[in-house]
Structure 1
Amino acid sequence: MYNIKKIISLSFLVCLCLYSCDIIDEPFMTVVEDVSDSCESFFFAFEPNDNPVRKILLEDYTGHTCGNCPRAAEKVNELQEIFEDQLVVLAIHAGFFSQTSSTYPTDLSSDTGDAWDNLFGNSNAGNPNGMVNRINYPNDHILQFNEWNQVIQAELLKPVSIDLEIVASYNQSNNLICVDVQTKILSSTDESLSVTVLLIEDKIISKQTDYQMEQGYVEEYEQNHVLRKGLNSPWGELISEEGYEVGNYFTHRYSTVKDSLWNIENISVVAFVSNINSYEVLQAEVSHLN
């Protein structure tokens, strides 16, 4: 599968090396090979953000044969009305309830979602459930949907330590999605941090089991925030091996060919920065594909 990337690291003071790199004049760069010429031709300008805010990652573990999962989706809609753009949502279809069949043929699963489910154990705990910023792993990280609101409120009270920006574009002529993600350090830390970049899709119409329906299902149910693909490892990429100082910038570039099953009009990019050791998410962002 065609999936290529380029990583650029910027610092006002020093070269922070992600991998082995040559020292060059500022701005310092680290390059991972084989960037698409088509994406290379794009210049994505990041808008200065003078008022960064903390955003929360909500992961909804679900499946199309889970009859109670539509209630969790309704809760997601309610929470988005409350927290607006400070809430970034992923719907992860993984485990038993995501399996396809002749009556449920639409595959909404992903390799990244399966990897997460294998580690965090959400489907084994019984869907629907989810995680908020992946806090309290490994013992108390799985939350029922009626617990999400309170935990999100508590997470929003924590100081913002990272700013994330996403700029992305789709090139129809070569069917290529190009993504740049910029991470700015707002609070110095020696913790190991990773950035994870994903594609999600809204407005997928497919059959969904729903125990509140007389017939037990909805034939044309709208699935939203569906995790389609990870653009890097399920566990992200180490941002720097040298620690992080206030004012450091890191820009990660990715590209991938659009799958024929995706509706490009409904694709968005999600990125989040997390602690590699605890998995806790420190900042999240979502941007609709241009």
Structure 2
Amino acid sequence: MMTLKKYLLLVLAVGYSFNSCDVIEEPFLVEKGVECDFCDAFIFPTQENYVKKVLLEDYTGHTCGNCPRAAEKADELKETYQNQLVVMAVHAGWFSNSSNSYPTDFTTDLGDSWNEHFGNSQAGNPNGMINRIDFPSSHIFQYTQWEQKIVEQLEEDPIVGLQIKSSYDSLLNVICIDVQTKILSSLSNEINITVVLLENKIISKQTDYAAENDYIEDYEHKHVLRKGLNGAWGEPIGDGLHTVGQLYTHRFCVDKNADWNASNLTVVAYVSNPETYEVLQAEEIHLID
């Protein structure tokens, strides 16, 4: 139920789409930022046994006739590796252009920035990255190579752990997200946290060279990148000196776009090295349980 406090805070919130901040609460490291006061506080359970999780980025487009094969491979890998694999479909480049025949715009500023930086569409879709390893010379992999790279990454011990809590207030139309990062190994380099929203079950036309007439009118698009909550490269976690056991919490709030189905949204967070871009850990939850 919307309280008077929430209503007044909503009025004050009009005029900006989202803010991010770090929760200031013991025993978390104190960091400054604008708080999302209309979001209720989340409580994270104590967790000790984190497992390594891998981010698979599938660079695709709705006019790419071979891209459904890569999507099928991503589904197969997700079925195999379950919650240790986070899949994100990035629509960027020429194959993602919308038209009268393909009116849905799946592109995002975030995806465009990544595509320009990593050169995925220029390399020829479909392709992808696994934890963004081997940048800048050998970071783009064909979908037939994905599983081998995933297995190699899963053999590594996690050096950070992630937990996500989220909620959606349909009256305020506000999505609230907290992400907790736990340091599992001593680190002397900077690390960044990036948070994005994905959407599943989007029905829209897709070119498919294996289909009759080379397209599927009611194709189901999955894991579609919808929005970044703190920029293309995220934001720093702490001050660059991290000791085992340290906890950091970042908070985000964003208005839900009218085109998004809240029931189909997932929240993805990942920690990366800002110098090499390598993803060190990833996590994903459904926005609404």
Query: Is the pair's TM-score, using the shorter chain for normalization, greater than 0.5?
Result: yes
Deviation at 1:28, TM superposition (A): 4.5
Q: How does 1:2-17 map to 2 (within 5 A)?
A: 2-8=17-23
Residue 33 of structure 2 corresponds to residue 32 of structure 1: yes
Match of 2:5 in 1: none
Look up the SS of the partner of 1:134 in the other structure.
coil
Question: Does the 8 Å CA contact 1:10/1:249 hold for their aligned counterparts?
Answer: no
Shift of 1:36: 3.2
2:8 maps to none
Deviation string, structure 1 residues 32-68 (Cα, Å, up to 9, x no partner): 12x33311xx121112223110000000000000000
Match of 1:270 in 2: 268
Shift of 1:9: 6.3
| Structure 1 CA distance for aligned equivalents of residues 201 and 68 of structure 2 | 14
Task: Look up the SS of the partner of 1:30 in the other structure.
Answer: coil
Secondary structure of the structure 1 residue equivalent to 2:177: strand
- Deviation track 1:51-90 (CA, whole Å, cap 9, x = no partner) reads 1100000000000000000000000111011111100010
Task: Quote the residue 1:17 is aligned against.
Answer: none
Query: What CA distance in whole angstroms lies between the structure 2 residues aligned with 1:93 and 1:242?
Result: 33
| 1:30 positional shift | 1.5
CA contact (8 A) 2:59 2:126 kept: yes
The worse-fitting range, judged by mean Cα deviation, of 89-98 and 239-248 is: 239-248
| Cα distance in 2 between the residues matched to 1:283 and 1:242 | 17
Mapped to 1, the partners of 2:142 and 2:84 lie a distance apart of: 20
Secondary structure in 1 matching 2:38:
helix
In the aligned structure 1, how far is the partner of 2:81 from the partner of 2:247? Answer: 27
Aligned partners of 1:11, 1:143: CA distance in 2, in Å? 43
Match of 1:160 among 150, 158, 164: 158
Change (3 A) 1:123 1:240: same
Cα separation, partners in 2 of 1:28 and 1:84, compared to 1, 3 Å: closer
Cα deviation for residue 11 of structure 1 reads 7.6
2: CA distance between counterparts of 1:238 and 1:9? Answer: 16
Cross-structure match for 2:3 = none
Partner of 2:129: 131
Counterpart mapping for 1:1-290 below 5 A: 1-8=16-23, 28-33=29-34, 35-39=35-39, 42-290=40-288
Unaligned runs of 5+ in 1: 13-26
Structure 2 residue runs of 5 or longer lacking an equivalent are: 1-15
Runs of 4 or more, structure 1, over 2 Å off, are 8-12
Once the two structures are superposed, residues 244-267 of structure 1 have per-residue CA deviations (whole angstroms, 9 ceiling, x without a partner) of 110111000000000000001000
- Indicate the SS of the match to 2:157: coil
> Do the aligned partners of residues 172 and 11 (structure 1) sit closer, same or farther apart at CA in structure 2, a change above 3 Å counting?
closer
Count residues in correspondence: 273
Amino acid at match of 2:32: V
- CA distance in structure 2 between the partners assigned to 1:121 and 1:65 by the alignment: 18
Which residue identity lines up with residue 4 of structure 1 in the other structure? N
Contact 1:182/1:251 (CA < 8 Å) preserved in 2? yes
**Contact 2:36/2:251 (<8 A) preserved:** no
Root mean square deviation of aligned Cα: 1.2
- 2: CA distance between counterparts of 1:28 and 1:283? 20
Please give the alpha-carbon distance, in whole angstroms, between the structure 1 residues aligned to 2:25 and 2:157.
24
